[in-house]
Structure 1
Amino acid sequence: MSVFATLAPQLGPMFLHFMALSLLSIGGAISTAPEMHRYLVGQQHWISDTQFTNSIALAQAAPGPNLLFVALLGWNVAGLPGAAAALAGIVLPSTTLVLAATRWASNYKDTRGVRSFTLGMAPLTLGLVLATGWLLAEPYLRVPQHRWAMVGMIALTVLLTLKTRLGLVWMVLGGGVLGAIGWV
Protein backbone atom coordinates (compact mmCIF):
# COMPACT_ATOMS: atom_id res chain seq x y z
CA MET A 1 0.00 0.00 0.00
CA SER A 2 1.36 3.44 -0.92
CA VAL A 3 1.98 6.21 1.58
CA PHE A 4 -0.70 8.34 -0.11
CA ALA A 5 -3.29 5.57 0.34
CA THR A 6 -2.52 5.49 4.06
CA LEU A 7 -2.91 9.27 4.36
CA ALA A 8 -5.98 9.59 2.11
CA PRO A 9 -8.52 8.99 4.90
CA GLN A 10 -7.30 12.13 6.72
CA LEU A 11 -6.76 14.42 3.73
CA GLY A 12 -10.34 14.72 2.47
CA PRO A 13 -12.03 15.31 5.84
CA MET A 14 -9.29 17.70 6.94
CA PHE A 15 -9.49 19.66 3.67
CA LEU A 16 -13.29 19.98 3.93
CA HIS A 17 -13.19 20.93 7.61
CA PHE A 18 -10.58 23.61 6.95
CA MET A 19 -12.66 24.89 4.01
CA ALA A 20 -15.58 25.43 6.40
CA LEU A 21 -13.28 27.10 8.94
CA SER A 22 -11.96 29.36 6.21
CA LEU A 23 -15.37 30.98 5.91
CA LEU A 24 -15.54 31.47 9.70
CA SER A 25 -12.04 32.84 10.15
CA ILE A 26 -12.94 36.45 10.79
CA GLY A 27 -9.78 38.06 12.08
CA GLY A 28 -7.53 35.54 10.36
CA ALA A 29 -7.01 31.80 10.52
CA ILE A 30 -5.74 32.07 14.09
CA SER A 31 -9.26 33.00 15.24
CA THR A 32 -10.40 29.46 14.38
CA ALA A 33 -7.59 27.76 16.31
CA PRO A 34 -9.95 26.61 19.10
CA GLU A 35 -12.09 24.75 16.56
CA MET A 36 -9.01 23.34 14.82
CA HIS A 37 -7.85 22.08 18.22
CA ARG A 38 -11.22 20.51 18.95
CA TYR A 39 -11.24 18.76 15.58
CA LEU A 40 -7.61 17.66 15.20
CA VAL A 41 -6.79 16.88 18.85
CA GLY A 42 -10.10 16.22 20.59
CA GLN A 43 -12.29 14.62 17.94
CA GLN A 44 -9.95 12.95 15.42
CA HIS A 45 -6.92 12.41 17.72
CA TRP A 46 -4.63 12.94 14.73
CA ILE A 47 -2.18 15.07 16.71
CA SER A 48 -1.46 15.71 20.39
CA ASP A 49 -2.14 18.84 22.40
CA THR A 50 1.61 19.49 22.52
CA GLN A 51 1.97 19.15 18.73
CA PHE A 52 -0.90 21.60 18.26
CA THR A 53 0.52 24.23 20.63
CA ASN A 54 4.06 23.81 19.28
CA SER A 55 2.83 24.22 15.69
CA ILE A 56 1.21 27.54 16.50
CA ALA A 57 4.17 28.77 18.57
CA LEU A 58 6.68 27.86 15.87
CA ALA A 59 4.66 29.46 13.08
CA GLN A 60 4.06 32.64 15.09
CA ALA A 61 7.77 32.97 15.86
CA ALA A 62 8.78 32.44 12.22
CA PRO A 63 8.74 35.29 9.74
CA GLY A 64 6.01 35.14 7.15
CA PRO A 65 2.24 34.97 7.01
CA ASN A 66 0.22 34.41 10.16
CA LEU A 67 -1.46 31.32 8.74
CA LEU A 68 1.70 29.23 8.49
CA PHE A 69 0.51 27.35 11.56
CA VAL A 70 -2.22 25.74 9.41
CA ALA A 71 0.41 24.14 7.18
CA LEU A 72 2.30 22.89 10.25
CA LEU A 73 -0.88 21.36 11.66
CA GLY A 74 -1.49 19.60 8.35
CA TRP A 75 2.14 18.48 8.26
CA ASN A 76 1.78 16.93 11.72
CA VAL A 77 -1.32 15.06 10.55
CA ALA A 78 -0.12 13.75 7.18
CA GLY A 79 3.24 15.19 6.12
CA LEU A 80 3.52 17.24 2.94
CA PRO A 81 0.12 16.14 1.52
CA GLY A 82 -1.46 17.10 4.86
CA ALA A 83 0.20 20.52 4.81
CA ALA A 84 -1.07 21.11 1.27
CA ALA A 85 -4.60 19.94 2.10
CA ALA A 86 -4.87 22.07 5.26
CA LEU A 87 -3.40 25.17 3.62
CA ALA A 88 -5.53 24.87 0.47
CA GLY A 89 -8.62 24.25 2.60
CA ILE A 90 -8.10 27.37 4.71
CA VAL A 91 -7.04 29.65 1.82
CA LEU A 92 -9.31 28.88 -1.15
CA PRO A 93 -12.81 29.73 0.16
CA SER A 94 -11.85 32.86 2.11
CA THR A 95 -9.68 34.19 -0.70
CA THR A 96 -12.47 33.74 -3.22
CA LEU A 97 -15.01 35.36 -0.88
CA VAL A 98 -12.69 38.26 -0.02
CA LEU A 99 -12.02 39.03 -3.67
CA ALA A 100 -15.74 39.13 -4.44
CA ALA A 101 -16.67 41.06 -1.27
CA THR A 102 -13.87 43.61 -1.71
CA ARG A 103 -15.02 44.44 -5.19
CA TRP A 104 -18.60 44.81 -3.99
CA ALA A 105 -17.72 46.78 -0.82
CA SER A 106 -15.48 49.23 -2.67
CA ASN A 107 -18.51 50.23 -4.72
CA TYR A 108 -20.71 50.67 -1.60
CA LYS A 109 -18.18 51.70 1.11
CA ASP A 110 -20.08 54.83 2.10
CA THR A 111 -23.41 53.11 2.76
CA ARG A 112 -24.70 52.71 6.29
CA GLY A 113 -24.88 48.91 5.96
CA VAL A 114 -21.22 48.47 5.03
CA ARG A 115 -20.06 50.84 7.79
CA SER A 116 -22.29 49.08 10.36
CA PHE A 117 -21.03 45.66 9.33
CA THR A 118 -17.42 46.79 9.71
CA LEU A 119 -18.05 48.22 13.19
CA GLY A 120 -20.02 45.14 14.25
CA MET A 121 -17.23 42.73 13.33
CA ALA A 122 -14.69 44.30 15.73
CA PRO A 123 -16.08 42.73 18.95
CA LEU A 124 -16.45 39.35 17.26
CA THR A 125 -12.86 39.41 16.09
CA LEU A 126 -11.64 40.42 19.54
CA GLY A 127 -13.58 37.57 21.16
CA LEU A 128 -12.15 35.01 18.75
CA VAL A 129 -8.59 36.22 19.32
CA LEU A 130 -9.10 36.09 23.13
CA ALA A 131 -10.42 32.52 22.85
CA THR A 132 -7.31 31.55 20.89
CA GLY A 133 -5.06 33.17 23.49
CA TRP A 134 -6.80 31.25 26.26
CA LEU A 135 -6.48 27.98 24.34
CA LEU A 136 -2.73 28.48 23.95
CA ALA A 137 -2.10 29.62 27.55
CA GLU A 138 -4.37 27.17 29.37
CA PRO A 139 -2.12 24.08 29.19
CA TYR A 140 0.72 26.06 30.82
CA LEU A 141 -1.59 27.53 33.46
CA ARG A 142 -2.43 23.97 34.57
CA VAL A 143 1.22 23.20 35.40
CA PRO A 144 2.08 24.61 38.85
CA GLN A 145 5.72 25.31 37.91
CA HIS A 146 4.66 27.49 34.98
CA ARG A 147 1.46 29.03 36.35
CA TRP A 148 2.75 32.28 37.88
CA ALA A 149 5.33 32.86 35.17
CA MET A 150 2.58 32.48 32.56
CA VAL A 151 0.21 34.80 34.45
CA GLY A 152 3.04 37.35 34.67
CA MET A 153 3.81 37.04 30.97
CA ILE A 154 0.12 37.45 30.05
CA ALA A 155 -0.21 40.51 32.29
CA LEU A 156 2.98 42.03 30.88
CA THR A 157 1.80 41.42 27.31
CA VAL A 158 -1.57 43.05 27.99
CA LEU A 159 0.13 46.01 29.69
CA LEU A 160 2.62 46.49 26.85
CA THR A 161 -0.15 46.22 24.26
CA LEU A 162 -2.34 48.82 25.99
CA LYS A 163 0.33 51.27 27.13
CA THR A 164 2.99 51.20 24.40
CA ARG A 165 3.33 51.03 20.65
CA LEU A 166 5.68 48.05 20.89
CA GLY A 167 5.16 45.73 17.94
CA LEU A 168 3.73 42.28 18.59
CA VAL A 169 6.74 40.66 16.93
CA TRP A 170 8.93 41.96 19.78
CA MET A 171 6.57 40.52 22.38
CA VAL A 172 6.55 37.14 20.62
CA LEU A 173 10.36 37.26 20.44
CA GLY A 174 10.53 38.16 24.14
CA GLY A 175 8.23 35.26 25.00
CA GLY A 176 10.40 32.94 22.92
CA VAL A 177 13.53 34.08 24.75
CA LEU A 178 11.85 33.62 28.13
CA GLY A 179 10.77 30.13 27.08
CA ALA A 180 14.25 29.27 25.76
CA ILE A 181 15.93 30.23 29.03
CA GLY A 182 13.36 28.17 30.95
CA TRP A 183 11.43 30.97 32.64
CA VAL A 184 8.09 29.72 31.31
Structure 2
Amino acid sequence: MSGTDLLQLFLHFLSLSLLAIGGALGTSPEMNRYLVDQRGWMTDAQFTDAIALAHAAPGPNILFVTLLGWQAAGAPGALAATAGILLPSSVLCFFGNRWRAANASGRLVRSIRRGLSPIAIGLTLAAGWIISVANNVDWKLWALSVAAFGFFLFSRRNPLWLIATGALAGALGVV
Protein backbone atom coordinates (compact mmCIF):
# COMPACT_ATOMS: atom_id res chain seq x y z
CA MET A 1 0.00 0.00 0.00
CA SER A 2 1.38 3.40 -0.95
CA GLY A 3 1.76 6.44 1.26
CA THR A 4 -1.13 8.06 -0.60
CA ASP A 5 -3.36 5.09 0.20
CA LEU A 6 -2.39 5.29 3.88
CA LEU A 7 -3.19 9.00 3.91
CA GLN A 8 -6.57 8.31 2.29
CA LEU A 9 -7.27 5.58 4.86
CA PHE A 10 -6.37 7.99 7.68
CA LEU A 11 -8.50 10.81 6.23
CA HIS A 12 -11.49 8.54 5.64
CA PHE A 13 -11.44 7.29 9.22
CA LEU A 14 -10.83 10.86 10.39
CA SER A 15 -14.06 11.89 8.64
CA LEU A 16 -15.95 8.99 10.23
CA SER A 17 -14.76 9.87 13.71
CA LEU A 18 -17.27 12.64 14.30
CA LEU A 19 -20.10 10.48 12.94
CA ALA A 20 -19.41 7.69 15.44
CA ILE A 21 -22.26 8.64 17.74
CA GLY A 22 -22.65 5.85 20.25
CA GLY A 23 -19.37 4.24 19.24
CA ALA A 24 -17.31 3.46 16.18
CA LEU A 25 -19.36 0.35 15.42
CA GLY A 26 -22.12 2.65 14.23
CA THR A 27 -19.91 3.73 11.34
CA SER A 28 -19.00 0.17 10.33
CA PRO A 29 -21.42 0.13 7.36
CA GLU A 30 -19.45 3.02 5.84
CA MET A 31 -16.16 1.34 6.76
CA ASN A 32 -17.41 -1.78 4.99
CA ARG A 33 -18.40 0.20 1.91
CA TYR A 34 -15.02 1.92 1.78
CA LEU A 35 -12.70 -1.00 2.62
CA VAL A 36 -14.57 -3.84 0.89
CA ASP A 37 -16.67 -2.37 -1.91
CA GLN A 38 -14.76 0.74 -2.95
CA ARG A 39 -11.11 -0.14 -2.24
CA GLY A 40 -11.20 -3.95 -2.30
CA TRP A 41 -8.63 -4.14 0.49
CA MET A 42 -10.51 -6.99 2.18
CA THR A 43 -13.50 -9.28 1.74
CA ASP A 44 -16.80 -9.17 3.61
CA ALA A 45 -15.71 -12.24 5.56
CA GLN A 46 -12.43 -10.62 6.60
CA PHE A 47 -14.31 -7.48 7.61
CA THR A 48 -16.80 -9.29 9.84
CA ASP A 49 -14.09 -11.59 11.24
CA ALA A 50 -12.10 -8.53 12.33
CA ILE A 51 -15.15 -7.14 14.14
CA ALA A 52 -15.92 -10.48 15.80
CA LEU A 53 -12.31 -11.02 16.88
CA ALA A 54 -12.00 -7.53 18.33
CA HIS A 55 -15.23 -7.85 20.27
CA ALA A 56 -14.23 -11.26 21.62
CA ALA A 57 -10.93 -9.89 22.91
CA PRO A 58 -10.75 -8.01 26.20
CA GLY A 59 -10.44 -4.27 25.91
CA PRO A 60 -12.32 -1.44 24.26
CA ASN A 61 -14.60 -2.22 21.34
CA ILE A 62 -12.69 0.30 19.20
CA LEU A 63 -10.10 -2.45 18.66
CA PHE A 64 -11.98 -3.55 15.56
CA VAL A 65 -10.84 -0.37 13.78
CA THR A 66 -7.22 -1.29 14.46
CA LEU A 67 -7.81 -4.79 13.08
CA LEU A 68 -9.48 -3.38 9.97
CA GLY A 69 -6.48 -1.11 9.38
CA TRP A 70 -4.12 -4.05 9.97
CA GLN A 71 -6.06 -6.19 7.50
CA ALA A 72 -5.93 -3.41 4.90
CA ALA A 73 -2.28 -2.37 5.24
CA GLY A 74 -0.46 -4.05 8.11
CA ALA A 75 0.98 -2.03 11.00
CA PRO A 76 0.94 1.33 9.14
CA GLY A 77 -2.73 0.75 8.26
CA ALA A 78 -3.56 -0.13 11.86
CA LEU A 79 -1.95 3.09 13.04
CA ALA A 80 -3.61 5.21 10.33
CA ALA A 81 -7.11 3.81 10.96
CA THR A 82 -6.83 3.99 14.76
CA ALA A 83 -5.42 7.51 14.83
CA GLY A 84 -7.98 8.65 12.29
CA ILE A 85 -10.97 7.35 14.25
CA LEU A 86 -9.69 8.49 17.65
CA LEU A 87 -8.25 11.97 17.14
CA PRO A 88 -11.28 14.16 16.28
CA SER A 89 -13.74 12.41 18.58
CA SER A 90 -11.28 12.47 21.50
CA VAL A 91 -10.70 16.20 21.12
CA LEU A 92 -14.45 16.82 20.80
CA CYS A 93 -15.17 14.67 23.89
CA PHE A 94 -12.55 16.46 25.94
CA PHE A 95 -13.94 19.91 25.26
CA GLY A 96 -17.57 18.76 25.06
CA ASN A 97 -17.44 17.13 28.48
CA ARG A 98 -15.94 20.25 29.99
CA TRP A 99 -18.77 22.31 28.48
CA ARG A 100 -21.39 19.76 29.57
CA ALA A 101 -20.09 19.76 33.15
CA ALA A 102 -20.34 23.55 33.27
CA ASN A 103 -23.89 23.48 31.83
CA ALA A 104 -25.22 20.17 33.19
CA SER A 105 -28.68 21.46 34.04
CA GLY A 106 -29.06 23.47 30.85
CA ARG A 107 -31.83 22.91 28.35
CA LEU A 108 -29.38 22.60 25.45
CA VAL A 109 -27.50 19.74 27.17
CA ARG A 110 -30.75 17.79 27.66
CA SER A 111 -31.81 18.47 24.07
CA ILE A 112 -28.51 17.27 22.63
CA ARG A 113 -28.64 14.10 24.71
CA ARG A 114 -32.22 13.36 23.60
CA GLY A 115 -31.44 14.12 19.98
CA LEU A 116 -28.34 11.95 19.74
CA SER A 117 -29.88 8.83 21.28
CA PRO A 118 -32.03 7.85 18.26
CA ILE A 119 -29.08 8.50 15.95
CA ALA A 120 -26.87 6.15 17.97
CA ILE A 121 -29.58 3.47 17.94
CA GLY A 122 -30.07 3.80 14.18
CA LEU A 123 -26.34 3.61 13.47
CA THR A 124 -26.01 0.52 15.65
CA LEU A 125 -28.93 -1.17 13.88
CA ALA A 126 -27.35 -0.38 10.50
CA ALA A 127 -24.09 -1.96 11.66
CA GLY A 128 -25.95 -5.07 12.80
CA TRP A 129 -27.68 -5.28 9.42
CA ILE A 130 -24.39 -5.05 7.48
CA ILE A 131 -22.79 -7.76 9.63
CA SER A 132 -25.86 -10.03 9.37
CA VAL A 133 -26.18 -9.71 5.61
CA ALA A 134 -22.50 -10.51 5.09
CA ASN A 135 -22.55 -13.60 7.34
CA ASN A 136 -26.00 -15.12 7.06
CA VAL A 137 -25.56 -17.44 4.12
CA ASP A 138 -28.39 -19.88 4.86
CA TRP A 139 -31.79 -19.88 6.51
CA LYS A 140 -30.50 -21.27 9.84
CA LEU A 141 -28.22 -18.30 10.37
CA TRP A 142 -31.00 -15.89 9.42
CA ALA A 143 -33.30 -17.62 11.94
CA LEU A 144 -30.62 -17.34 14.62
CA SER A 145 -30.17 -13.62 13.85
CA VAL A 146 -33.91 -12.96 14.03
CA ALA A 147 -34.14 -14.85 17.32
CA ALA A 148 -31.21 -12.86 18.74
CA PHE A 149 -32.82 -9.59 17.63
CA GLY A 150 -36.08 -10.61 19.28
CA PHE A 151 -34.23 -11.59 22.43
CA PHE A 152 -32.65 -8.14 22.67
CA LEU A 153 -35.89 -6.39 21.80
CA PHE A 154 -38.19 -8.18 24.24
CA SER A 155 -35.95 -9.58 26.99
CA ARG A 156 -34.01 -8.04 29.82
CA ARG A 157 -31.87 -11.13 30.34
CA ASN A 158 -28.10 -11.11 30.21
CA PRO A 159 -26.77 -11.27 26.60
CA LEU A 160 -24.36 -14.01 27.67
CA TRP A 161 -27.31 -16.39 27.27
CA LEU A 162 -27.23 -15.62 23.54
CA ILE A 163 -23.54 -16.40 23.33
CA ALA A 164 -24.07 -19.68 25.17
CA THR A 165 -27.01 -20.59 22.90
CA GLY A 166 -25.00 -19.78 19.78
CA ALA A 167 -22.05 -21.82 21.03
CA LEU A 168 -24.34 -24.76 21.80
CA ALA A 169 -25.99 -24.51 18.36
CA GLY A 170 -22.57 -24.51 16.72
CA ALA A 171 -21.29 -27.42 18.85
CA LEU A 172 -24.36 -29.50 17.98
CA GLY A 173 -23.95 -28.71 14.30
CA VAL A 174 -27.26 -26.88 14.04
CA VAL A 175 -25.56 -23.89 12.41
Tell me if TM exceeds 0.5: yes
Match of 1:158 in 2: 149
CA distance in 2, matches of 1:11, 1:41: 16
Q: Say what the alpha-carbon RMSD is for the aligned residues.
A: 2.0
Does the C-alpha gap of structure 1 residues 174 and 96 become closer, same or farther in structure 2, counting only changes over 3 Å? farther
- Normalized against structure 1, the TM-score is what? 0.85
Match 2:27 to one of 32, 54, 66: 32
Point out where structure 1 has 5 or more consecutive residues left out of the alignment: 1-5
Does residue 171 in structure 1 map to residue 166 in structure 2?
Answer: no
* AA of the residue aligned to 1:72: L
Instruction: Trace 1:61-140 onto structure 2 (pairs within 5 A).
Output: 61-140=56-135
Match of 2:15 in 1: 20
How many Å apart are 1:69 and its aligned residue? 0.7
Point out where structure 2 has 5 or more consecutive residues left out of the alignment: none
Match of 1:41 in 2: 36
Equivalent pair of 1:17/1:89 in contact (CA under 8 Å): yes
SS at match of 1:56: helix
Percent identical residues: 46
Aligned length: 175
CA distance in 1, matches of 2:84, 2:172: 37
* AA of the residue aligned to 2:9: M
Equivalent pair of 1:61/1:172 in contact (CA under 8 Å): no
CA distance in 1, matches of 2:87, 2:162: 31
- Normalized against structure 2, the TM-score is what? 0.89
Equivalent pair of 2:45/2:135 in contact (CA under 8 Å): no
Match of 1:3 in 2: none
CA distance in 2, matches of 1:64, 1:34: 22
Match of 1:58 in 2: 53
